[in-house]
């Protein structure tokens, strides 16, 4: 059921050079004193550009932290060490840093500026933070960012695998919303129609131009951000996560070498769409064709036996979470699809 009040970003900038304007974006609403949190190993010029932008607008970086993990314990320590009179938190980098910064900002009830340096998934603007707690991965409720700042040039310079991962996470929204509707018919779970329409629309907007250039980056960043807002509206991950995410979570548990989240999810979404029937399989396949997704997988194929194990484990990942995997043993169909589908058959080994 939709939340009575939802938080959405008040400032959104998705354009070239946006990183160099974060100081201006903080200055306009009067945020003068900030804490910075950025990814471990981030190219040094990126934090330097952020600090220069703050300095140009007389914004004080009262604390600066390199995020080495993504744990509840680390976030709690950062919360306790926030400088006095801190007015905003800025996260720069990839998922671990952004999830940590988002969660600290949520606990402190401070505005959070999300500045992803790649677009590998929708986590930068989702209502959860993926953190470990006592060594176990948890999705913890968090506020959406107050501001989303995506520098398209910075994200375009990120490795191609991160781009493909983001596209894979995006196309999964089509299968996620179908699973949500299957759950309605099987269990009576209420579907938020507007959240579903928003989630689907972001995929079809991107589908017309899945190219890794400045415009493609802008479209992908916009789409992933709006998917996060769809989850906030629905009060759950249903608009963005279905059977394909359960398969990916199972792969994380049983693979000797789990791959990027969006690479697993995108491939699983293609398989899931075939299990669901309908027209989404062809749409997903064509989008992933245009993004160079399958070429990446062929260079580093998945292990077939690990996917067999993941399909067996996936339905138990979220008890009571109804998807197409709840209807039958889906592996025999999927294994045949992997063996015969021109897109898939070179993406698996073993």
The vertex-241 CA angle with 237 and 244, nearest 5°, equals 160
DSSP-assigned beta bridge partners for residue 36: 64, 90
DSSP assignment of 108-123: HT--EEEEES--SSSG
Which range marks the domain in which residue 89 is found? 11-156
Q: Average the pLDDT over 256-262 and give the result.
A: 96
Let me know whether 66 and 203 are in one domain: no
pLDDT per residue as tens digits for the range 31-90: 999 999 999 999 999 999 999 999 999 999 999 999 988 889 999 999 999 999 999 999
pLDDT per residue as tens digits for the range 29-41: 999 999 999 999 9
The rounded Cα 113 to chain-centroid distance in angstroms is 16
Let me know whether 122 and 171 are in one domain: no
pLDDT at 136: 81
pLDDT at 2: 54
Residue 209 has pLDDT above 90, yes or no: no
**Domain annotation covers residue 1:** no
The secondary structure of the chain in percent helix, strand, coil, rounded to multiples of 5, reads: 55, 15, 30
Q: How confident is the model at residue 349 (pLDDT cuts 50, 70, 90)?
A: very high
**Domain annotation covers residue 4:** no
CATH code at 173?
1.20.1090.10
Let me know whether 136 and 38 are in one domain: yes
Q: pTM for this structure?
A: 0.94
Let me know whether 50 and 180 are in one domain: no
275-284 in b/e burial notation, b at 16+ Cβ within 10 A? Answer: bbeeebbebb
The rounded Cα 218 to chain-centroid distance in angstroms is 15
Residue 1 has pLDDT above 70, yes or no: no
Residue 3 has pLDDT above 80, yes or no: no
E strand or H helix that includes residue 27: helix 22-27
Q: Do 130 and 250 contact (CB within 8 A), yes or no? A: no
pLDDT at 7: 87
Name the token pair of 221: 């960043």
Let me know whether 89 and 141 are in one domain: yes
Q: How confident is the model at residue 350 (pLDDT cuts 50, 70, 90)?
A: confident
Residue 129 has pLDDT above 60, yes or no: yes
Q: Average the pLDDT over 149-177 and give the result.
A: 97
pLDDT at 101: 96
Residue 311 has pLDDT above 90, yes or no: yes
> What is the bridge-based pairing of β-strands 136-141 and 128-133?
antiparallel
DSSP assignment of 192-251: -HHHHHHHHHHHHHHHT---SSHHHHHHHHHHHHHHHHHHHHHTSSTTT-SHHHHHHHHH
Q: Of 248, 232, 96, give the one whose Cα is nearest residue 171.
A: 248
Residue 5 has pLDDT above 70, yes or no: yes
**Domain annotation covers residue 224:** yes
Let me know whether 234 and 324 are in one domain: yes
Q: Average the pLDDT over 182-197 and give the result.
A: 97
Q: How confident is the model at residue 279 (pLDDT cuts 50, 70, 90)?
A: confident
Mean pLDDT estimate for the chain: 95
pLDDT per residue as tens digits for the range 212-247: 999 999 999 999 999 999 999 999 999 999 999 999
Q: How confident is the model at residue 4 (pLDDT cuts 50, 70, 90)?
A: low
Let me know whether 29 and 147 are in one domain: yes
Let me know whether 324 and 200 are in one domain: yes
**What is the total count of domains within the chain?**
2
Let me know whether 169 and 140 are in one domain: no
Let me know whether 166 and 287 are in one domain: yes
**Domain annotation covers residue 6:** no
């Amino acid at each position: 059921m939709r939340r009575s009040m939802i938080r959405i970003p008040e400032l959104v900038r998705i354009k070239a050079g946006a990183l160099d304007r974060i100081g201006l974006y903080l200055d306009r609403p009067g945020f003068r004193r900030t804490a910075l949190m950025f990814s471990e190993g981030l190219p040094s010029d990126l934090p330097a550009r952020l600090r220069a932008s703050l300095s140009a607008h007389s914004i004080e970086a009262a604390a600066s932290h390199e995020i080495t993990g993504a744990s509840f314990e680390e976030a709690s320590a950062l919360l306790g060490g926030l400088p006095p009179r801190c007015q905003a938190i800025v996260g720069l980098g990839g998922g671990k840093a952004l999830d940590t910064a988002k969660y600290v900002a949520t606990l402190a009830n401070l505005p959070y500026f999300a500045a992803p340096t790649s677009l590998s998934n929708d986590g930068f603007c989702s209502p959860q933070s993926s953190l470990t707690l006592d060594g176990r991965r948890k999705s913890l409720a968090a506020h959406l960012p107050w501001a989303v700042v995506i520098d398209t040039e910075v994200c375009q310079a990120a490795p191609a695998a991160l781009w493909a991962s983001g596209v894979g996470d995006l196309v999964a929204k089509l299968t996620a919303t179908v699973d949500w509707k299957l759950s309605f018919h099987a269990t009576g779970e209420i579907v938020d129609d507007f959240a579903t329409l928003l989630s689907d629309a972001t995929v079809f907007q991107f589908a017309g131009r899945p190219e890794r250039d400045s415009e493609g980056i802008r479209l992908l960043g916009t789409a992933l951000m709006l998917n996060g807002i769809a989850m906030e509206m629905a009060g759950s991950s249903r608009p963005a996560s279905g059977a394909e995410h359960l398969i990916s979570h199972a792969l994380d548990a049983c693979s000797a070498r789990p791959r990027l989240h969006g690479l697993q999810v995108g491939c699983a979404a293609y398989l899931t769409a075939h299990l669901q029937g309908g027209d989404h399989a062809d749409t997903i396949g064509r989008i992933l064709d245009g993004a160079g997704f399958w070429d990446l997988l062929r260079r580093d194929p998945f292990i077939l036996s690990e996917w067999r194990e993941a399909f067996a484990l996936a339905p138990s990942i979220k008890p009571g979470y109804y998807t197409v995997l709840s209807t039958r043993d889906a592996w025999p169909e999927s294994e045949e699809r992997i063996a015969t589908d021109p897109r898939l058959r070179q993406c698996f080994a073993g």
